[in-house]
Amino acid sequence: MKILIIGGTRFLGRHLVNSARARGHEVTLFNRGQTNPNLFGQVEKIQGDREKDLDLLSGRWDAVIDTCGYFPRIVRMSAEALKSKVEQYVFISSISVYADFKKIGINESDPVGKIEDETIEEITGGSYGPLKALCEKAVQDVFGMDSLIIRPGLIVGPHDPTDRFTYWPVRVARGGTILAPEKPQIPIQIIDVRDLSDFIIELIQQNVSGVFNATGPDHELTLGAMLDTCKLVSASDAKFKWASVKFLDQNKVAPWSDMPVWVPDTAEDAGFSRVNISKAVNSGLKFLPLEETVRDTIKWAAERPEGYEWKAGLSAEREAELLRLMREE
């Protein structure tokens, strides 16, 4: 098959290229050439801006995968420009599209969030999900049944630029006393980027359309079990000190950013890490062992330059300060 990828040199995009090429497909990348421009020397590249240079896309493809659509106006432009050039439009959305997370077992038919000003083009905590939902609608308006919408949860693994998972394997490998949030029984959902990429390419091969939640694993995973796996894989002497939600709140330790992966287990967010993925699993989504994800993430993180500035998690100094405050309580 011939597959066009909008983006293709960052996290999910680069793994999609690997998954597609491993199956013998021909890949073309369309991006601005600003991120990892020397990656994939053997892959056709069309350099351009998706707002101004869509006329450069003069070929024909079996599918396009849009990995970096955030604003409905721009996604609609891309979809309309490619309508006569591709058979299927694959849009990478997010589970953040859902209107709320009170329900345990959110499925693909549950309502999505709305935003008062649908023309806004600014990503905030409140706008990200509704804008992604509007992007989905733009694709569906143009391609109808020939569209595939993927709603991933937290994507993890090698080459993750966000550090929203990487913090934990690396921190646990360092050992010592580690500040952990709330309690070990907190449910979490994550998906290895390689599993997600393989699943998407498999759906394209089968010409599947529709909407799919895509996170994992296919059994309940807890934060404690994830941290224990990190400890096992790295053979560290880590000891976890579980801080209460009250303590973390009082000391302005933010969920998801300061304490990656974690969202407090409240009635308001009861469904955030309990999303229904049965449709994806029944359609072929498979999962690498968590041990493999952790091991490969640690190995990749070790290759980053010295002095790398972390984008999520606590600094060693801040963690030490918080642990001292906990001892003084």
pLDDT exceeds cutoff 90 at 214: yes
pLDDT exceeds cutoff 90 at 329: no
Contact indicator for 64, 88 with CB cutoff of 8 Å: yes
> What ranges do the domains of the chain cover?
2-152, 167-189+219-265+289-328
| Rounded average pLDDT over 159-178 | 98
Contact indicator for 19, 193 with CB cutoff of 8 Å: no
The 10s digit of each residue's pLDDT in 250-262 is 999 999 999 999 9
Contact indicator for 216, 274 with CB cutoff of 8 Å: no
pLDDT exceeds cutoff 90 at 160: yes
The 10s digit of each residue's pLDDT in 76-86 is 999 999 999 99
Tell which CATH classification among 3.40.50.720, 3.40.50.740, 3.30.499.10, 3.90.470.20 matches the domain 2-152. Answer: 3.40.50.720
| Rounded average pLDDT over 133-161 | 97
282 CB-near residues (< 8 Å, 6+ apart): none
Strands 187-188 and 221-222: antiparallel
- Rounded to whole angstroms, the Cα distance separating 244 from 249 reads 9
The 10s digit of each residue's pLDDT in 11-53 is 999 999 999 999 999 999 999 999 999 999 999 999 999 999 9
Percent residues over pLDDT 70 in the chain = 100
Supply the pLDDT for residue 264. 96
Mean pLDDT score across all residues of the chain: 97
Domain 167-189+219-265+289-328 class in CATH:
alpha beta
CA distances from 154 to 25, 198, 263, 275, 311 (A): 27, 16, 12, 12, 15
The 10s digit of each residue's pLDDT in 63-75 is 999 999 999 999 9
The 10s digit of each residue's pLDDT in 116-131 is 999 999 999 999 999 9
| Rounded average pLDDT over 211-233 | 98
Contact indicator for 192, 157 with CB cutoff of 8 Å: yes
Percent residues over pLDDT 90 in the chain = 99
